[in-house]
Structure 1
Amino acid sequence: MIRPSELIINPDGSIFHLHLKPNNIADNVILVGDPARVDLVSSYFTKITHESANREFVSKTGLYNNQPITVLSTGIGTDNIDIVLTELDALVNIDFETREVKSEKRSLNIIRIGTSGGLQKNLPVNSFVISEKAIGFDGLLNFYANRNKIVDLEFEEEFKFKMNWNPLLASPYVINCSSKLLAKIKDERFTSGVTISAPGFYGPQGRVVRLDIIDPELNDKIESFKHKNYRITNYEMECSAVYGLSALLGHHALTACLIIANRVNKQANGDYKLFMEELIIHVLKKLTE
């Protein structure tokens, strides 16, 4: 039995942070960072069947192309993803009455739609990227047992060696997306690559405002890094934890990002709403085909 201190259930029967009940979520889940983007995604639903909001965790479940879909905001960072993935899994794989893990597991399709910064010259602003692999600078997965069974250890070791990785930093981990979702969503509209999930927006992504960073050559080394046929394409802040926790828990995960800035070409687009709408519609259509 999972103790109340380990899994908190609210008096109304909903999970602690997400304020969702087991019957409130669909098998297809769209994750977005910005709570306002929940309204944008759900505006394409033909029907809304459930709504919930608590802190940054806003969710709506409804129908798109006659198929149930849940869209849920996570806020920023892998720490929030730890909450979201753990509680989503609990909603479908733990009996809230007995507090026991169900014998038959339910597997979710989890797709993160977000914004990102490009790290290669050939990734123009407003392009779409699918994260075939994610590199976690956050260290979250290292707190969980069996992480070595799901990561790409060869990639990890080569990355740490070529980057001359500072031991003061969390040890990076490398994790694949769901091959099932990759085959379903990817088409000619997307560039496929490797995404770094950083534990911050400024220093951890090589930005300097008033504080110097520990490795001023960080982004130059990232741009030139290559493992087999893989190049690092972009930065964001959630993908690695989505992939790692999904793999450990038996869910399918994929991240699709809109490039709103290119860190190499020093270009950015602050008015990217139309392109984000295009990405959302594209993913919804591919997911429900």
Structure 2
Amino acid sequence: MSLAASELILNPDGSIYHLNMQPEQLADTVILVGDPERVSKISCYFDRIDTEIRKREFVIHTGEMGGKRITVMSTGMGTDNIDIVINELDALVNIDLKTRTLKKELRSLKLLRIGTSGSLREDIPVGSLLMSRYSIGLEGLLGFYERPMSEKENVLAQKAQALLAGLDFGIRPEAVSCGTALLEQFRPAGFLEGITLTATGFYAPQNRELRAKNRMPALLSKFRALEFDGYKASNLEMETAGIYGLATALGHQALSLNAILANREAGIFHDQPKQLVKELIEKSLELI
């Protein structure tokens, strides 16, 4: 059955609507970053760049490094943007855009988030590099999607829900795990591993308070008590759960790598954030 024009939206040139991208411009390995300016900080390591696209917050470079084809693209901040990005990347490889029909043979992408984050625990200092073994979505996106869940994901989601007892939270937490093949690929780098919380915003949703009052100031302290499968709740950011959940639903592999810039328990911030992000980029590219 052909997908309606209102569901699969294309530009006049046949490219996918938001990303403005054609299927042949996408590599099987995709690096996702939040900041559009970070795209060129990664693609500068490529041997060559074949494709450059810019539309809204989405900056996309596809090229080659060491004989491997790679796409790096910015998503902007938050799982609302991740919803657009992952669905449209999947459409580029698994839907025939000309006939608007699903392909019989599906293609699996490797999705690698390279981003910044704040640690929840004093024993994860600023300057650390951390892989998200699991993620807990506290922003609501995954509640809209059907997806397979493992027994461990179900148990972790129940633990997260129990921690929120007594808080008028209003959103069911969703638990998701990373792509295990990518996890093993990146373990030789020696990154820390933990459970990442994905929030719907930067200030009150992450327990920050400037002038607008935070209604749930106990949120982070509750999650600091979370331990599961040998991992502890480790850090907080705004994209990982959405990436993991949609990757699982659509048959892709995903892994989130985090440069820890802030320590929320100690109340400190890294004094050289750009250098730490550069270190994370270089270590990641070595293993890609």
TM range (shorter): over 0.9
Distance in 1 (alpha carbons) for counterparts of 2:216 and 2:52: 44
Q: Give the whole-Å Cα distance in 1 for the aligned partners of 2:150 and 2:55.
A: 34
Whole-angstrom CA distance in 2 between matches of 1:38 and 1:134: 24
Q: Identify the residue that residue 248 of structure 1 maps to in structure 2.
A: 249
Separation in 1, partners of 2:187, 2:215: 36
Contact 2:147 2:248 in 1 (8 A): no
Once the two structures are superposed, what CA deviation does each residue of 1:163-200 show, in whole Å capped at 9, x if it has no partner?
Answer: 31645421110000000000001235300000001000
Within-5 A mapping of 1:51-62: 51-62=52-63
Within the alignment, does 1:282 sit opposite 2:272 as a pair? no
Q: CA RMSD in A?
A: 1.4
Give the structure 2 partner of residue 175 of structure 1. Answer: 176
Query: Which stretch shifts more, 116-125 or 158-167?
Result: 158-167
**CA contact 2:127–2:259 (8 Å) conserved in 1:** yes
* Aligned residue runs from structure 1 range 124-273, under 5 A: 124-146=125-147, 148=149, 152-164=153-165, 166-273=167-274
Q: CA offset at residue 256 of structure 1? A: 0.1
Q: What's the secondary structure of 1:11's corresponding residue?
A: coil
Contact map agreement 1:151 1:173 (CA 8 A) in 2: no
Q: Which residue of 1 aligns with 2:30?
A: 29
**Closer/same/farther in 2, CA of residues 67 and 146 from structure 1, 3 Å limit:** closer
My pick for the range that moved more, 128-137 or 150-159, is 150-159
Contact 1:141 1:147 in 2 (8 A): no
Q: How far apart are 1:145 and its partner, in Å? A: 2.2
- Deviation track 1:175-233 (CA, whole Å, cap 9, x = no partner) reads 00000000001235300000001000000101111122222211111112223422100
Give 5+ residue unaligned stretches, structure 2: none
Partner of 2:100: 99
**Structure 2 residue aligned with 1:47:** 48
1:88 is matched by which residue type in structure 2?
L
CA deviation after TM superposition for structure 1 residue 271, in Å: 2.7
Question: 1:116 deviation in Å?
Answer: 0.2
> Which residue identity lines up with residue 241 of structure 1 in the other structure?
G
Identify the range of structure 1 (38-47 vs 153-162) with the bigger mean alpha-carbon deviation: 153-162
Report the residue type matching 1:53 in the other structure: R
Asked whether 1:90 is paired with 2:60, we answer no
Question: TM-score normalised to the size of structure 1?
Answer: 0.96
- Residue 285 and residue 2 in structure 1: after superposition, are their counterparts in 2 closer, same or farther (change >3 A)? same
CA distance in 1, matches of 2:95, 2:196: 31
SS at match of 1:224: coil
Does the 8 Å contact 2:193/2:231 carry over to 1?
no
Q: Read off the aligned partner of 1:56 and give its amino acid letter.
A: E
Partner of 1:16: 17
Q: Is 1:65 matched with 2:90?
A: no
Q: Could you list the per-position Cα deviations for residues 114-166 of structure 1 after superposition, in whole angstroms to 9, with x for gaps in the alignment?
A: 00000111111111000000000011011012455697111111221133164
Structure 1: runs of 5 or more not aligned: none
Specify the SS of the correspondent of 2:224.
Answer: helix
The CA distance in 2 between the partners of 1:274 and 1:65, in whole Å, is 24
For the residues of structure 2 that align with 1:174 and 1:260, how far apart are their CA atoms? 24
Relative to structure 1, the CA distance from residue 52 to residue 229 in structure 2 (aligned partners, 3 Å threshold; closer, same or farther) is same
For residues 18-50 of structure 1, what are the alpha-carbon distances to aligned partners after superposition, in whole Å with 9 as ceiling and x for unaligned?
011000010000000000000100000010010
> Aligned partners of 1:148, 1:59: CA distance in 2, in Å?
31
Report the residue type matching 2:192 in the other structure: T
